[in-house]
Structure 1
Amino acid sequence: MSITNFMPTVWSARLNENLRKAMVYGSLVNTDYEGDIAGIGSTVKINTMGAVTIGDYDKDNGTGNPQELDSSQTTLTLDQQKFFNFKVDDIDKAQTRNNLVDLAMSEAAYGLADIMDKYIASHYTDVSNKNTIGSDASPITATKEDAYDQLVDMSVKLSESNVPKMGRWVVVPEFYHGLLQKDPRFTKDSNVLATGYIGNVSGMQVYTSNNVPNVSGQKYKVIAGTRIAISFAQSIDSIEAYRPENFFADAMKGLQFYGGKVIKPEALAVMTVNR
């Protein structure tokens, strides 16, 4: 038997953490109705008031009868459920000075956030048809010469839909960020923030994300909008620590539920772009 087989194993006190994407979309939606949820399957009725008619005043006829306002109702349903359930064996805890349960919980939290981020981005399908640029059948091709101008065109779409200029945002994939950096008009921040914020174009805050929806690395769905466009609500239903019956280990499990709804489709713009 080779003497090398008796060499001791050295356990590092440092763990190699997984690479993580920045969570972006979750910070760009409103959570106004989160306090109204009660549990999985909860529904929140969101009322939208119609426009008030403005008329010419006639002192002989007065204002006439009052207008009866129209209203529409949208339902936000929390119908998405995700769980985690992991264990850390006692022997593994003895071989490292790290708190493995805490580290695993951090990974679980990141995993849940990543799934919710993708879920929010998937609501691009609810955009108003008049606010689209390109399509799956005819995607736009982005180059370093026109990437900036394409974002300006998205901002124009929002303006034509009377979307407030304050708080506009757009999320682009990493390759698109690279094209913007080659355009001297792009006012980029020298330090890309952990939130994914990279600069401004035409009054829109530009973010970059690896969760931009796409089909096989093509037909990326670049989404622009404001916080009023999408409502989102989520809650941790329960988290339990326990000792599995058949193992010498500590275990943790948790259940989270959430839901989202585009309540103002005209406050979004979507551009389909090829890499």
Structure 2
Amino acid sequence: MAITTGYKNFIPQLWSARLLSHLDNALVALQLVNRDYEGEITAFGDTVKINQIGNVTIKDYTGNDIDAPEELDSTQLALVIDQAKYFNFAVKDIAKAQANVNLMDAAMARAGYGMASVVDTDIFSEIAAQAANRVGTTAKAIDVEVANAYDLIVDLGVTLDEKNVPRAGRKLVLPAWYFGLLSKDARFTRNFEILANGVVEGGIVGGFQLLMSNNLKKETGGVVHVVGGTTQGMTFANQVVETEAYRPEKNFSDSVKGLNVWGRKAVQPNCLVDFIIKPKA
């Protein structure tokens, strides 16, 4: 909906110097990915080739001649920039001139947040789809209650330990209701604080830095895909390839349109976990 005010209906006293704050989700998915190849993309449809070297064989040394050097296996992964979203909005001149706020800047901020939220949701869904470590299923989600909420996270950490996933930098993204259960367990600090970026200060359980988000993938019946791991698991590349201010031909407006493209690839699925849960009835 365009922001506009008819001249005859304009009442200066009703304009405010402040904008109403929105109740936004914390955007945290970018804390679960690496962005090592981001500088190599320029447009939608680009593909970045990622080479991965196989294991090196360790052999006994007897003092005699050693074997000829082995040829190392090399696999190639493709990071495809196959996601694209755009925005296109107008702000009428009369509203911009009469208001005591910069509506265009505010509208751009809302467009930026909306775009980031879409990316956030997409990354969570892709991690859930590609994770090699999966606990529970959509049909048989793990029931979570106060009695087991803490222990389930500890067990999840052991699962990654057994896969040789580095402990450094492990993170786990939980829905808000899970923290309500954890806060009732004496083993979880009661002094935790959820910051604006979704990070939970004081919230280390089972080796995981805990994060909170309402953008996690959800299924029917209250089922939620909790995702986590380390940034080694998934790479992400994003580029705003077009941003253009223009004047619509049949309108007295300032308009802005923009195009954002991105791609994501699970490069180490063993570093990713999909924990499928629901609150116990």
TM category, shorter: over 0.9
In structure 2, C-alpha distance between the alignment counterparts of 1:227 and 1:187, rounded to whole Å: 26
Letter in 2 for 1:53: T
SS at match of 1:145: helix
Residues 187 and 200, structure 1, Cα contact 8 Å, conserved in 2: no
In structure 2, C-alpha distance between the alignment counterparts of 1:270 and 1:190, rounded to whole Å: 24
- The equivalent residue for 1:239 is 243
Q: 1:100 to 1:7 in 2, by over 3 A?
A: closer
Q: 1:217 to 1:116 in 2, by over 3 A?
A: farther
Structural mapping, 1:54-133, within 5 Å: 54-60=58-64, 62-123=65-126, 124-128=128-132, 131-133=133-135
Deviation at 1:247, TM superposition (A): 1.1
Does 1:257 find its partner at 2:248?
no
- After superposition, the C-alpha distances for 1:8-67 in whole angstroms (9 at most, x for unaligned) are 56222222132111100112210000011121111011111111111111113x321111
Deviation at 1:72, TM superposition (A): 1.0
Does 1:24 find its partner at 2:28?
yes
- The equivalent residue for 1:48 is 52
SS at match of 1:16: coil
Deviation at 1:251, TM superposition (A): 0.7
In structure 1, C-alpha distance between the alignment counterparts of 2:193 and 2:216, rounded to whole Å: 21
In structure 1, C-alpha distance between the alignment counterparts of 2:259 and 2:129, rounded to whole Å: 27
- After superposition, the C-alpha distances for 1:141-177 in whole angstroms (9 at most, x for unaligned) are 0001111111111111111111111000000011111
Choose from 205, 208, 228 the match for 2:212: 208
TM-score by length of 2: 0.91
Residues 85 and 254, structure 1, Cα contact 8 Å, conserved in 2: yes
- The equivalent residue for 1:134 is 136
Letter in 1 for 2:125: S
Letter in 2 for 1:224: G
- The equivalent residue for 1:158 is 160
SS at match of 2:147: coil
- After superposition, the C-alpha distances for 1:93-114 in whole angstroms (9 at most, x for unaligned) are 1331100000000000000000
- The equivalent residue for 1:3 is none
Aligned residues: 267
Deviation at 1:189, TM superposition (A): 4.8
Deviation at 1:258, TM superposition (A): 0.4
Residues 188 and 200, structure 1, Cα contact 8 Å, conserved in 2: no
Letter in 1 for 2:228: A
Q: 1:99 to 1:177 in 2, by over 3 A?
A: same
SS at match of 2:49: strand
Deviation at 1:191, TM superposition (A): 2.9
SS at match of 1:146: helix
Residues 156 and 206, structure 2, Cα contact 8 Å, conserved in 1: no
In structure 1, C-alpha distance between the alignment counterparts of 2:38 and 2:242, rounded to whole Å: 17
Deviation at 1:238, TM superposition (A): 1.1
Does 1:33 find its partner at 2:50?
no
Letter in 2 for 1:251: S
Q: Which ranges in structure 2 are unaligned for 5 or more consecutive residues?
A: 1-8
Q: Provide the aligned C-alpha RMSD in A.
A: 1.6
Deviation at 1:71, TM superposition (A): 1.4
TM-score by length of 1: 0.93
Identity of aligned residues (%): 44
In structure 1, C-alpha distance between the alignment counterparts of 2:98 and 2:23, rounded to whole Å: 23
**Which structure 1 residue ranges, 4+ long, deviate > 6 Å from structure 2?**
none
Letter in 1 for 2:164: N
Deviation at 1:7, TM superposition (A): 11
